[in-house]
A and B are shown apart, each in its own frame.
Chain A
Amino acid sequence: MLISLFAAPTFGISADSLFSRANSHYQNKDYGKALDDYLKLEDNGFESAPLYFNIGNCYFKEGKPGYAILYYLRAQRLDPFDEDIETNLQFARQFMPTRLEGVQINPVSTFMETLVEPFSLNGLAWIASVLFILFLLLWSAKIYFGIDNTGSKIGLYILLSFVVVSSALTTYKYRTDYLIDKGVIVADEARIYSGPGEGNDIEFVGGFGLEFEVENESGEYYLVTFENKRKGWINKEYVEII
């Protein structure tokens, strides 16, 4: 429905033109109007790293750093190596009121993240698929023609190892990016409870910018795990999924 409205003649403006118009508002320091135009694009299903980055900038200028961090993270998901995104994300994080203690860096996860970051999930899936098909075809040819020398075996093993690695990376990427929901607190302050409801004990109070993984949900609450492994229930109203 939204998509058809956007395409209706009454709008009469392309996505690129709307983006340019938003940029002009930003340049004139009219951050509210710029944000409105950028969000129209997002509402109609468009996405790109620059779009999310610019939304983040608008939110920052409007004094909503929680939402700024959210959109910088969304931009970074699409373009992990963009220097501007990383710079602004770190800049915005400087204003986070709460910092987590006891955050441990998992070297294996870090290593895996480094490997999969340059690729999109679809890209990894295609690479794994091509290697897998190549492997099967070569194996079939080896059987059919009765090729049994050492060279062909070594080649097949090497290809098999590539298939295993690419499949593992694809699976990892799928798990981390799609199966596991990651989120961030966008409100200035949010209470984390021991159970899904305000009647439960308060574990701690977090501020905007704190990131977490969603493990479960119940009604209006998410069960989340923060980077320092602390868990708790948080009201959905104060967070956004990246």
Chain B
Amino acid sequence: MIRKLIFIFIFSFVWSSSFGQDEVSIDMFISPDTIGLDGQAMLAIVVKSEHQNLPTPHIPNLSMFDVTPAGTSTNISIVNGAVESSQAYNYILVPKRQGTYNFKPASLVYNRKRYESNEVMLTVLKAGQSTPKSIEKAATDDRTGENRDVFLAAQLDKERVYVNQQVTLTIKFHHAVRLLSQPDYTPPQISDFWSETLEPQRSYTETISGRRYNVIELNTALFPTRSGKLTIGGAMASVQVPDQSGGRSRDPFRMFDSFFDRGVTRTVRSQPLTLEVLPLPAEKKPEDFSGTVGNFTISAVADKTTVEVNQPITVTYKINGTGNIKTVAEPNIEESNDFRVYRASSDEKVSKIQGVVGGTKIFEETYIPKRAGKLVIPGVELNFFDPAARRYKRIASEPITITAKPSELGAYADLPVPNVAGRVIDPNSKDIRYIKTDPGDLEKEQPLILLTPLYLALNGVPLLLLAAVWVTRKRQEKLASDIGYARSRAAKKMARKRLAKARKMAKSAKPGEFYAEIRMAMFSYIADKLNISPHGMTGEQLIDIVSDSGADETTIESIRSLLRNADFAQYSSANIDAAKIQDSLDKAEEVLVKLEGIKFG
């Protein structure tokens, strides 16, 4: 007896410890989610609660199907002292017509509270076809014709959409064998699309060509960013599966091998998909169209409708609907004669309900009345393209009427700063203006560029360029107008040319020509420097000129020697050896260098 009492006490304690938690959950499942007109699907509604004897849930409208109850099953579990029972209600559905059916939530009322399940979708194809052809094709090995153990299939829910209209990409990973590792998944390339992952990922079973597969399904909402034929690349998955290449064995102990089977890696890819993206129609496109696609509503709410002049009113604009909410642009609000307008903040919440992306975008604007009276904050317009209706729509929020009161107090009684006795304050302004809600270009203080090396260099370089151009131009002009100057400037260059020529002649065993060139080099150099003709000048005259110009004795002697050798080579038939020629050449070069340092004339 005592033991019984203790058991009841413990059970009641455990039961009551979970009392007060509102824990009734209801879920709905459909399997498979695609059948042929001659097939059937199983609909299961599972109710979980710590309470028992819950009422039967109300099933959604299934008028398109013949519905046969397939019994219920109950499961009770005690986890960490909490008792939970789950009851599953099963129904067999036989379709009457092809189509895609969205089942509304199942519901249950308990303790005056209503609980609802999720929604599910069932696709009914024509008879004999329980899976889309693309998936059947993906399941079949082209070489052997047999069903693959694992494969990846991809499909789009539409073949043709407008720019920025949602299309859902479904990637299904099928496996008919046990997996030895988690699949390593690489999503497809989708460079021309915005994307939003649709959660959660689903798992279920599916029969394809008589073979049962476990399916992991991933859905992604895509919004094309341009028109044309766009390609969505293939997804890839790598996974380890049991190695069945050994075939059947008579070894009775082979069954233990599976425990130590490391498996083989299978990499599977889905086929790329093509989508036709239509441009938005040009006809009747609003001039201020901002590119928003979807279906939206707009509302505006003010935090107060009565305020004093110069005090703020915050108006919250909500844009709500389905479509790529992130690309919805902020409405254009201009300052009016009645209000100063400042942008306060913006926020967005993305929703993904039944695979459709939408949400709410919120903009807060601050309006400050400039004058007293009944003022109207005008409605704000939003235009968008509705792809379902295939036309542009323009909507507007309701205008908001506010009452701006003049300050009723003795003019500045509310001010924190004492008034100066006897001073008249401007009656038109009773208080300072409101703060600025936009921070502007809030940035660190910029250094002065005026004295930076970069600035100085940028301005200095063209100055140097100008100087160089000016000097060059002046030199060119002088060379063109003053022949003596030009000859004098070119004397050295000409003399070197002659010496170079003489150097070549030195190798040609023609001493006469060699020394003639040496002679001419010296005479021409002096003649150019003095702007006189070299012809008719004698050696003595040359020596005199060089001597009068202040050349040293060594240089004069070298010139004499060269002239003697030149005369000898010209008038004598005797051979002059190469060493002497080279010596003369060296001497001529030395003389030229010395002469360059002398100022002639």
Contact = CB atoms under 8 A, between A and B. Distances in A.
User: Are A and B bound to each other?
Assistant: yes
Interface of A: 15-16, 19-20, 23, 26-27, 41, 45-51, 53-54, 57, 60-63, 65, 68, 79, 84, 87-88, 90-92, 94-97, 121-122, 125-126, 129, 132-133, 136-137, 139-140, 143-144, 146, 170, 174, 178
A140 B465 contact: yes
23 contacts: A46-B444, A48-B439, A48-B442, A48-B443, A50-B436, A51-B439, A51-B442, A62-B416, A65-B417, A87-B433, A88-B433, A92-B417, A95-B419, A122-B446, A122-B449, A122-B450, A129-B455, A133-B459, A136-B463, A139-B466, A143-B466, A143-B470, A144-B473
A41 to B, nearest CB: 7
A57 B448 CA distance: 29
B438 A133 contact: no
Interface residues of B, number: 43
B462 interface: yes
Contact of A94 (B416, B425, B442, B463): B425
Given A23-B435, A54-B435, A65-B417, A45 B450 contact: no
B95 interface: no
For the complex of A and B, the 3 pairs showing the least CB-CB separation, nearest first, are: A50-B436, A136-B462, A63-B416
A84 B469 CA distance: 53
A129 B448 contact: no
B312 A27 contact: yes
Given A19-B442, A92-B432, A94-B426, 7 more contacts: A16-B439, A49-B440, A50-B435, A125-B448, A136-B463, A140-B462, A140-B466
B597 interface: no
Contacts of A139: 466
Interface in B446-471: 446, 448-450, 455, 458-459, 462-463, 465-466, 469-470
B439 A15 contact: yes
Interface string B397-431: 00000000000000000001111100101100101
Q: Is the contact region of chain A dominated by helix, strand, or loop, or is it mixed?
A: helix
A48 B437 CA distance: 12
A20 B450 CA distance: 34
Nearest to A45: B444
A63 B345 CA distance: 29
A45 to B, nearest CB: 4
Contacts of A136: 462-463, 465-466
B416 A121 contact: no
Q: Is the contact region of chain B dominated by helix, strand, or loop, or is it mixed?
A: loop
B445 interface: yes
Given A121-B450, A144-B469, A88 B439 contact: no
B127 to A, nearest CB: 61
Contacts, number: 125
Contact of A57 (B435, B450, B472): B435
A60 B472 CA distance: 66
A223 to B, nearest CB: 25
A47 B435 contact: no
B184 interface: no
Nearest to A86: B433
A178 B470 CA distance: 37
Interface centre among B425, B436, B458, B472 (most CB of A within 10 A): B436
Contacts of B435: 23, 26, 50, 53-54, 57
B450 A46 contact: no
B450 A125 contact: yes
B257 interface: no
A91 B420 contact: no
Contacts of A144: 469, 472-473
A179 B466 CA distance: 32
B429 A84 contact: no
Given A65-B417, A84-B436, A125-B449, A133 B442 contact: no
A137 B462 contact: yes
A20 B443 CA distance: 15
Contacts of B466: 136, 139-140, 143
A79 B423 CA distance: 29
Contacts of A54: 435-436
Contacts of A57: 432-435
Contacts of A49: 436, 440
Contacts of B423: 94
A48 B440 contact: yes
Contacts of B426: 90-91, 94
B427 to A, nearest CB: 11
Interface string B105-149: 000000000000000000000000000000000000000000000
A39 to B, nearest CB: 14
